[in-house]
Chain A
């Protein structure tokens, strides 16, 4: 009964045209997995809808195909630019790929490309290194001056201390 209702109430047509609400869409998709009659009707409907839209088809100019080809290539290049190194590593490449996904880059250069977040990290490392250097120098000079003070005090103590009795005249 429910199947008949679905076949005749226009919900399949609305689903094919993208006019259903999310709830109706989910309902139809669920039914399609369980009801063979509804699936068969949908396939038939899809064919006739394709015929209908093909009757109203308009051939686009040839430049559109070239533009699509170009856009796909650009997308692929952009995708490669966004892929982190580990993804281009053949060990972690997509499992369904029959060959490793290498990017052929000429090796005779001394530059590397890193993510822009590294800039902040490099600045932080640079500032921290300067801070540590200043602290290091400060404590170095402080300890060396203290050592000199200790030597000076020792010398002063030795000079002021009384001589042993055996050494006195």
Chain B
């Protein structure tokens, strides 16, 4: 008797907007974020799980509400979530396997893809912090030039 029965609840207009915000951001930035996550975690299953986590997170909702700097915010969030979800945590020692890479690419790879701090990279590569930052600047300057 009197069994609690919850009927189907129609989503409110706000919920629909929120869902649409998440999905519209996913449609716009999903491929980019997946590419970033795959650079950090080269395992498609885990990368997809991080991508789902990323686009259903509360931070994404706040990005949807503010129009400015969405790309930067998504890049940073995708990177931080991917680094946190990596099966192999970041170690203190930096393995430098590919010596053919130029310094700029190496710095970008170690910092962005492998999650090493700029200080650790500077120490390992025997560069100053300013020069490490300069390497990142140069790397993107080359990318920007037509």
Instruction: Using CB atoms and an 8 Å cutoff, list the residues of chain A in contact with chain B.
Output: 8-11, 13-19, 21, 42, 45-50, 52-54, 56-61, 63-65, 67-69, 71-73, 75-76, 80, 94, 97-99, 101, 103-106, 108-111, 113
Chosen A-B contacts, 30 in total, with CB atoms closer than 8 Å, are A10-B134, A10-B136, A10-B138, A17-B79, A18-B75, A18-B76, A19-B112, A21-B118, A46-B72, A53-B32, A53-B36, A56-B35, A57-B32, A57-B35, A58-B35, A58-B38, A60-B30, A60-B51, A64-B52, A67-B52, A68-B56, A69-B23, A71-B52, A76-B18, A98-B13, A101-B14, A104-B8, A109-B2, A111-B4, A113-B4
Say yes or no: A14 contacts B76, CB within 8 Å.
Answer: no
A residues less than 8 Å from B56 (CB atoms): 68, 71-72, 75
How long is the Cα–Cα vector from A16 to B137 in the complex, in angstroms?
11
B residues less than 8 Å from A16 (CB atoms): 72, 75-76
Q: How large is the interface on B (under 10, 10 to 19, 20 to 34, 35 or more residues)?
A: 35 or more
A residues less than 8 Å from B134 (CB atoms): 9-10
Instruction: Using CB atoms and an 8 Å cutoff, list the residues of chain B in contact with chain A.
Output: 1-15, 18-19, 22-23, 26, 30-32, 34-36, 38-39, 48, 51-52, 55-56, 69, 71-72, 75-76, 79-80, 111-112, 118, 130, 133-140, 143-144
